[in-house]
Amino acid sequence: MEIHFTYLVLPGEDGYPLKRILKEKLSLSEGLIRRAKFVPGAIRVNGLTFLRDRPVTTRFSVQPGDQVEITIPDREPAVIPAQGELDILFENENLLVLNKPAGLAVHPAKGHFNDTLVNYLAYAYPEPPRLIGRLDKDTSGALLAARTALSADRLKQDRERGDVTRIYLALVLGQLPPQGRIDAPLKETREGTPPGDNGHPLRLMKAEEDGMEAHTLFQTLDYTDGISLVKIKLLTGRTHQIRAHFASFGHPLLGDHLYQAFCGITEKDITASRAMLHSYQLTFPDPLSGKILTVQAPLPDDFKAHYF
């Protein structure tokens, strides 16, 4: 049974983000709000999902007199199975490792309800594999998934213990030292960030002393024509950690227009269509046998085109 809520925005609440109204005025939890977000048309203002030249999202700024409406489904919305190409690097009865192409979103979200990796897995497998970790939409490469509940539980525990390790390869602007470590706390900010598709400032990570602890190890493998090929290992897993760390270090990833501009780096024109970041290698124990497995994802053509 669906539950329907309405709220009339009062004077003094001008400019409140919609999420604040839902949480403070309607006392809805993050989980219930998230559940509604994935249902088209479940969150509306004045009966509309597009108002004042902007889509109505949880970041939408309300005005006095606006009628906020939200319909919460009784259950989590089911993933819509959708046919799509899966590039499987390794598979057994317990797990699989996928090679995710750049540009493919991993999880359904607003604007991507049936064209994500999770939708494709739901179509290809009667019992869809559970992803262990994630990659940003524009990041390519290896991504681990468990095929059973037991495998998912054990792999998640292994990941929390640091027994699941990922090596990235990146193309970085400028010449870096042979090796190094970036220790810079990262804090989410919207101050000074450009607007996103919905007109609101994007949420980006910035190196700040009062941010969350973040540590990145890197090794420079080669340097050619102003671009370094870098191998990267994360010691922490913050949002956009690699992109934010290297940009704050003065060496943004090739193609990372967003963090290049955010950090005020204008020395080099970036022509790549995406940030050149690739999940190159995963090492992890098989959840049943305990055997250590290492799987590598070949470099995509666009990555190679800008370096090799």
In the numeric block, which tokens belong to residue 23?
Answer: 């949480």
* Cβ count within 10 A of residue 1: 6
Of 53, 66, 87, 136, the active-site residue reads 136
Element containing residue 68 per DSSP (H, E): strand 67-72
Query: What would the two tokens of residue 80 be?
Result: 């819509």
Question: Which residues, at least 6 apart from 70, have a Cβ–Cβ distance to it below 8 Å?
Answer: 4, 5, 22, 26, 28, 33, 36, 42, 43, 44
* In 102-226, beta strands by DSSP E: 130-132, 140-146, 165-173, 179-183, 186-189, 204-207, 215-224
**Which element (helix H / strand E) includes 261?**
helix 257-262
In this structure, what are the phi and psi dihedrals at residue 43, rounded to the nearest 5 degrees?
Answer: -115, 125
Is 136 a residue of the active site? yes
**Helix (H, G, I), strand (E, B), or coil: what is residue 142?**
strand
Residue with tokens 């046998």: 289
Rounded Cα gap, residues 50 and 35, in angstroms:
19
Catalytic residues: 136
